[in-house]
Amino acid sequence: MEEFFHSKAMITPGAVGATTTMITGTLASQFGLPGNWTGLVLSLLFGLSVWADKSVPVYQRIIFYIINSMTIFAVAIGINTAGMVINKSTERKVAPYVIEEKHSPAEQQKFFQDWFR
């Protein structure tokens, strides 16, 4: 676990990117928050974990903070985009077989949304 939070670990931004997507998707679908800004703020907050590693000089931690935060955001965008593509492809396959909808499409909030609309 110690290596996971090390500032030079590269698996951490990938794993936290998935967490960022999950939290951002939930906040955007349930509360209508803008996905792009919510994801960016969460990425910057999760990127603060590099400051826990005191074995690295401050200037390197600043560089790692920027790189890790942007990596977290990029992973979150990629996962969200992949989820949107998968949702669209399954909607096309299932749509002809839908008999009755319980909710109108305007009422339904999707988890994966276009963050940059």
Per residue in 27-55, pLDDT (tens digit) is 998 898 999 999 999 999 998 888 887 88
Q: Could you count the other beta carbons within 10 Å of the beta carbon of residue 86?
A: 11
pTM above 0.85, yes or no: no
Looking at residue 51, the DSSP 8-state letter turns out to be: G
Contacts (Cβ under 8 Å, ≥6 apart) of 93: none
Rounded distance between C-alpha atoms, residue 18 and residue 74, angstroms: 10
pLDDT of residue 110: 75
Q: What is the pLDDT of residues 73-94, one digit of tens each?
A: 999 999 998 888 888 877 666 5
